[in-house]
Amino acid sequence: MGKGVLSSWDDQIYRLSPLIKDDCFQSENEFRIVHELQMTDVHRVRFRQKKTLLSRHIPLVFPVWAANRVPILPIVEVMIGPSRQREVSAVSVNTLLLQLGYRDFKVEISNRPLQLP
């Protein structure tokens, strides 16, 4: 017997969920990079234990030619979204941008409350 409609829908809709954003965050004007994990990616996955979960990510690596073409992206502002440690994240983002050579930027902290399910 085949999958039910709801199960099939769930298998497909999860791919779109990172692209859906509440209108209240529209002013953040962010870009999201979405990558569906493949078996060939498993060795690249890095983990970080957080207070409420074990998070995973694949570090972004940009080719050398990209650095030569555009040494610095036109980042002027970074908005730290709702989280438990917004201030710590803001300091980390500020330090990272300085390390990468950015000088004229703002790091803002969202005043939206963190909502955990």
| Domain layout of the chain by residue ranges | 5-109
Give the pLDDT confidence of 8-66 residue by residue, as tens digits: 777 777 777 777 777 887 787 777 777 778 889 889 899 989 888 888 888 887 666 65
Neighbouring residues of 24: CB distance < 8 A, sequence distance ≥ 6? 112
The DSSP bridge partners found for residue 48 are: 55
- Does the pLDDT value for residue 75 go beyond 60? yes
pTM of full prediction above 0.75 = no
pLDDT at 8: 73
Provide φ and ψ at 53, rounded to 5°.
Answer: -165, 165
Would you tell me how many other CB atoms lie within 10 Å of the CB of residue 81? 13
